[in-house]
Amino acid sequence: MSSIHPKVLLVCNSNIYKNYISPNQVKRLEKFASWDWLSFDHTDIGAQLPKIFFEAIEDVEALIISHGSPLIGAEIMDSANRLKFIGELEDDRFNNRIDLRAAWERNIRTVDTTNASSYPVAEWALALILISLRNAGAQFRRIVNGNTKVYHQALNYAGGVLNGKRVGLIGCGHMGRRLIQYLRPFETEIWVHDPYLPSEMAEAIGFTQTTLDNILSQCEVIVCLAPLTPKTKGMIGREELNKIPSGCVLVNVSRGAVIDSQALIERLKRGDIVAGLDVFDPEPIPSSSEIIHLENVFLSPHFGYFTGNQFRESFVLMVDELERFFDGHQTYFDLTPKSFANRHGNEP
């Protein structure tokens, strides 16, 4: 696959290096590769790249990029004639920093570990499900206002326990698959709507692949995990929200714009379902928004990604991927034509 000590180059700005590159993970990387960091902040897309950039990439076998990196296109790939691996580290869902087709034509492996933030969000999704099933937000509102007795009226349309419920996931990428793991101890029945999944995944992981209509109309807990793309923006509107039966829970931890905000407010004002929302459109939520004052809503400020760790986890996953690749194994998080279609809202 490569030399004994393949050369890895990290290209990013100093902020990414400070917040993502853990010394412990650097030690792991140094066990099987030599590496260097090119401190770079390429903000002008039209600017000519300096000679130092081309000198730095000349003999690298793996290029890890993030904020500050220029577009890694055909010219750069051809200048790095030993390049076998390009990894995107953070926050480029639409892959604007890699010319994927040029990489695939040159048999260069393309990997993306921006999904590291998906795992803590999946954990928070589980928390929002549990909170919403008991309409705990309504109880908390009363307590902070000085009324510490149980608010029985708010329990009339609360779903109760999670155990044994039918849970519907709208989208089942990294976040959804991690959430399925978390749901297992609750013996839930899991339905999934995601047109980009391989058909065999339903049997392998253990869920029912179904339609969006079935998720909305027949599941007691509905969790929106779909990425925001041109195809999913406003995907859940007034018609879709009106299919949700009374007594159900709706959780959104993906992006606020996947659900029509005004239609969501109208549906919640009927007072027969509960929502747990980590995201909303727009963000931050305007202080004048009705959503803030609805007692059947629990809100958090789009912080589901928070882990409490000093360094973000994307680099951990990237070192894992580099180790797999240079050991001759298959990588986990490949960017493929199907993933590219998903992120751009194209047909699967």
Mean pLDDT by 10 residues, the chain (348 residues): 78 95 97 96 75 94 95 95 95 77 96 94 98 96 95 90 98 96 98 94 96 98 95 96 97 98 98 97 96 96 95 96 97 89 72
227 and 270 in a common domain: yes
Q: Provide Rg for the chain, Cα atoms.
A: 23
Helix ranges, 134-218 (H)? 136-144, 174-183, 201, 212-218
145 and 290 in a common domain: yes
293 and 218 in a common domain: yes
3-state helix, strand, coil in the chain (%, to 5): 40, 15, 45
State residue 2's pLDDT score: 45
281 and 210 in a common domain: yes
| Residue 6: strand, helix, or coil | coil
| Residue 275: strand, helix, or coil | strand
Closest by CA to 12, choosing from 41, 32, 51, 33, is 41
State residue 1's pLDDT score: 44
195 and 103 in a common domain: no
In a domain, 334, yes or no: yes
> If you search the block for the tokens 């803590």, which residue do you land on?
120
In whole angstroms, give the CA distance from residue 29 to residue 84: 17
In whole angstroms, give the CA distance from residue 337 to residue 284: 33
89 and 162 in a common domain: no
| CATH (domain of 340) | 3.40.50.720
In a domain, 226, yes or no: yes
State residue 44's pLDDT score: 62
318 and 194 in a common domain: no
In a domain, 86, yes or no: yes
In a domain, 1, yes or no: no
In a domain, 178, yes or no: yes
243 and 142 in a common domain: yes
- Angle between helical axes of 314-326 and 23-30 (0-180°, round to 10): 0
For the chain, the domain total comes to 2
In whole angstroms, give the CA distance from residue 297 to residue 135: 8
In a domain, 60, yes or no: yes
State residue 90's pLDDT score: 83
Displacement of CA 195 from its chain's centroid (Å): 17
**Please, what's the largest Cα pairwise distance for the chain?**
70
Closest by CA to 125, choosing from 8, 266, 300, is 300
State residue 348's pLDDT score: 65
| Final residue of a structural domain among 279, 299, 319 | 299
Say if residues 207 and 190 touch (Cβ distance below 8 Å): yes
206 and 133 in a common domain: yes
State residue 194's pLDDT score: 96
State residue 93's pLDDT score: 63
Measured CA to CA in angstroms, residue 317 lies from 53, 106, 108 at distances of: 25, 24, 19
Domain region containing 139: 118-299
The count of other CB atoms within 10 Å of the CB of residue 44 is: 8
146 and 198 in a common domain: yes
In a domain, 2, yes or no: no
In a domain, 275, yes or no: yes
In whole angstroms, give the CA distance from residue 14 to residue 66: 11
State residue 4's pLDDT score: 73
Displacement of CA 148 from its chain's centroid (Å): 37
160 and 98 in a common domain: no
Say if residues 227 and 343 touch (Cβ distance below 8 Å): yes
234 and 146 in a common domain: yes
